[in-house]
Amino acid sequence: MDRAALIVIDVQNDFCPGGALAVADGDAVVPVINRLMPLHSLVVLTQDWHPPRHASFASTHAGRRPFDEVEMPYGRQTLWPDHCVPGTPGAEFHPDLDTTRAALVLRKGSNPAIDSYSAFFENDRRTSTGLGAFLRARDVGRVVLTGLATDFCVLYSALDAVTEGFHVTVIEDAVRGIDVNGSVAAAWTAMATAGVTRA
């Protein structure tokens, strides 16, 4: 199980400048990721894929605004602007991202009642996306994470990959964060504590 997989998290138009939930400088990860792809024999792309009126959207909750927090059956949930709705331009990959090398495109967050930051588990922490099994079936022992955003989907994916038994590296030049109240620094600390390598 020595094979390494490159996992590209949510490099979608809505998370890039001009998008509904834009990450500052988010599109800067694209050329870095494109350069990394030929160095890995297995590439996985993920997409946030939320139906209209998803439970994580602030617009679904009367009187709530983006970045408010609410209590959901599975725990605390940050509310977001409507984003990555299938059929909208925002849900599509950034046009400069090389998608031709992907062995798998994994779409997450399609359950209207549960958000899904991680590429491995939904936010209830129990429902698997199947990615761990997919990687193990292909003799992957190491995962290299890139994409958006450092402090949410990359963070949760990294921590879950460790829990799933993978050796995990996050490429600093290939991620960008939202940074809500210092959440990027907190994310790097949490990943380091879990044994994630920062490269």
pLDDT (tens digit per residue) in 76-129: 999 999 999 999 999 999 999 999 999 999 999 999 999 999 999 999 999 999
**Residues sharing a CB contact under 8 Å with residue 88, sequence separation 6 or more, in sequence order:** 14
**Per-residue pLDDT tens over the stretch 121-161:** 999 999 999 999 999 999 999 999 999 999 999 999 999 99
Catalytic residue among 10, 27, 82, 115: 10
Q: What is the pLDDT of residues 174-191, one digit of tens each?
A: 999 999 889 999 999 999
CB 170 within 8 A of CB 69: no
Confidence of residue 35 (pLDDT cuts 50, 70, 90): very high
Q: Is residue 156 within 8 Å of 177, Cβ to Cβ?
A: no
Q: Which two structure tokens, joined as six digits, stand for 183? A: 């959440």
How is residue 152 annotated by DSSP? I
Task: Classify burial at 82, counting beta carbons within 10 Å of its beta carbon; exposed 0-12, middle 13-18, buried 19 or more.
Answer: buried
Contact 181, 191 (CB under 8 A): no
**DSSP code for 88:** S
| Number of Cβ atoms within 10 Å of the Cβ of 50 | 27
Catalytic residue among 14, 16, 48, 153: 153
Is 16 known to be catalytic? no
48 catalytic, yes or no?
no
Catalytic residue among 16, 108, 151, 160: 108
Q: Is the model more confident about 181 or about 173?
A: 173
Task: Give yes or no: 124 in active site.
Answer: no
Q: What is the largest CA-CA distance in the chain?
A: 50
Structure tokens at 122: 């939904």
Residue 149 preceded by cis peptide, ω within 30: yes
